[in-house]
Amino acid sequence: MNGFVIREARLVRVSVPMTEPFRISSGAVDRKDALLVQLSDGEAFGWGESSAMSGSFYSIETPESCQRELLERLLPATVGRGSESIEEFNLHLETLSSSRFARVALETAAWELVARQRGVSLRQLLGVPDRPIPSGLAVGLYDSEAELCAAIARYWGDGYQRLKIKIKRGQDVALVKAVRREFGDIPLFVDANADYTREDFQVFEQLDEYGLMMFEQPLAKDDLEGSALLQQRVHTPVCLDESIETAADARRAIELGSCRIVNLKLQRVGGFLEGLQVCQVCQEHGIPLWMGTMPELGVGSAQALALASHPGFVFPTDVEPSHRWYLDDVVRPEIRLEQGCLTVPEGPGLGYEVDESKVAQYAVGQWQF
């Protein structure tokens, strides 16, 4: 792989309004705050996105904490520095910051920079095939079963290939029962976002009767032993998400019997290198994957779609078209759903282009290095 020198960098914080509030067990947001990074060697460039959710949705990290890491640690020590490879560049980032949600913006931007240097797509550089990615509909929490079913009805006809609904303690079995009553035997699963404990196994034993694809992250991220105990008591596969931050996490979870499926998020693992290693571990043990999302804006979504072409990903992705979550996006063309799939445009790097006019429209802060 070509070496590179980062000669210029730009950080832009954008705030994009969402089509409706997104609610999970730990809170709700109505705007997407993301940090966009552009790295340049003077000729080629690459974009990355740091997309931790406001309010510590899925992690202790937030847009504010990632912004500090990028401004105070990562970007000042990156500009002017040469690297012989992405691996060397990533090791440098790891010495600067423990924040994967911050580092991912630089690691993924470096991959696109090198892809553009070589005139190839990001998928070609990653060594994964070019294929359409099946997309699944994800629906958050609502105040009533009727509102939940109405939200599903608004989008299900667009051609999604499976449905995920959020649950939390006190809002679980009845929701699944209502969805099954209204929509029948569609491919369906639930995402608990780690809201339950070992005292709640009976909830999942009840849910086991509804023919679900999986239970996503039922227990706390660190309770791998509890997840293994739950998996022994139910037929439905347990899927881990928040628990998987590294390939070592995936290996330990699989060896304990804590899951039968892994949801990989590029933001959580810190970029493509660790993501590829998670894929390798899962493939070695016959564990299928699917690509999750925060959700990200178009830059992060396009990067997720690039890796989601890896043959280890067998379930539809949580990445959805731009208009599903956001009133606008920062890439062109918009990410679109066609015949149940998302297709990355041809071209070097991401395939999508960042729309500078949209970045300027939604910018709430920007810094040049």
287-329: per-residue pLDDT in tens? 999 999 989 999 999 999 999 999 999 999 999 999 999 999 9
The reply to whether 164 belongs to the active site is no
Query: Which part of the chain is CATH 3.20.20.120?
Result: 125-351
Question: Exposed (0-12), middle (13-18) or buried (19+): which is 269, by Cβ within 10 Å?
Answer: buried
pLDDT tens digits, residue range 263-281? 999 999 999 999 999 999 9
Query: Which amino acid, 207?
Result: L
Q: Would you state the structure tokens that stand for residue 169, as one six-digit string? A: 């303690």
* Proportion of the chain above pLDDT 70, given as a percent: 97
| Mean per-residue pLDDT, 19-42 | 85
Ranking 56-60, 112-116, 134-138, 187-191 by mean pLDDT, the lowest is 56-60
What pLDDT shows up at residue 60? 82
| Mean per-residue pLDDT, 184-211 | 98
**Which member of 32, 166, 221, 358 is catalytic?**
166
**0.75 exceeded by pTM:** yes
Go through 48-73 and write b for each residue having 16 or more CB atoms within 10 A of its CB, e for each that does not. Answer: bbbbbbbeebbbebbbebbbebbbeb
pLDDT tens digits, residue range 213-231? 999 999 999 999 999 999 9
- CA of 148: how far to CAs of 19, 23, 76, 301, 342, in Å? 15, 11, 46, 25, 25
pLDDT tens digits, residue range 247-268? 999 999 999 999 999 999 999 9
pLDDT tens digits, residue range 50-86? 999 876 555 688 999 999 999 999 999 999 999 999 9
What pLDDT shows up at residue 1? 53
What pLDDT shows up at residue 28? 72
Assign 38 a pLDDT band (cuts: 50, 70, 90): very high
On the question of pLDDT at 25 being above 60, the answer is no
* Proportion of the chain above pLDDT 90, given as a percent: 93
CATH top-level class of 125-351: alpha beta
Q: Is 86 helix (H, G, I), strand (E, B) or coil?
A: helix
Q: Are 345 and 162 a contacting pair, CB within 8 Å?
A: no
Task: State the chain's mean pLDDT as an integer.
Answer: 95
What pLDDT shows up at residue 30? 86
Comparing CA positions, the residue from 143, 126, 79, 82 lying closest to residue 271 is 126
What pLDDT shows up at residue 22? 75
Pick the residue with more confidence: 24 or 56?
Answer: 24
**Which member of 32, 164, 221, 265 is catalytic?**
265
Question: Exposed (0-12), middle (13-18) or buried (19+): which is 308, by Cβ within 10 Å?
Answer: buried
4-120+355-368 — its CATH code?
3.30.390.10
Q: Are 258 and 224 a contacting pair, CB within 8 Å?
A: yes
Query: Which part of the chain is CATH 3.30.390.10?
Result: 4-120+355-368
For 47, what's the count of Cα atoms within 13 Å in the CB-facing half-sphere?
25
| Mean per-residue pLDDT, 144-161 | 96
Assign 96 a pLDDT band (cuts: 50, 70, 90): very high
On the question of pLDDT at 168 being above 90, the answer is yes
Residue 354 has phi, psi (to 5 degrees) of -75, 130
What pLDDT shows up at residue 20? 81
The reply to whether 265 belongs to the active site is yes
For 272-312, the DSSP string reads: HHHHHHHHHHHHHTT--EEE--S---HHHHHHHHHHTTSTT
Geometric angle at alpha carbon 245, from 243 and 249, rounded to 5°: 70
Q: Which residues does 28 contact at the CB level (< 8 Å), separation at least 6?
A: 21, 22, 140
- CA of 305: how far to CAs of 44, 81, 132, 252, 323, in Å? 22, 29, 9, 26, 16
What pLDDT shows up at residue 59? 64
What pLDDT shows up at residue 56? 53
Q: Which residues does 241 contact at the CB level (< 8 Å), separation at least 6?
A: 58, 191, 216, 217, 262, 263, 265, 268, 292
What pLDDT shows up at residue 24? 67
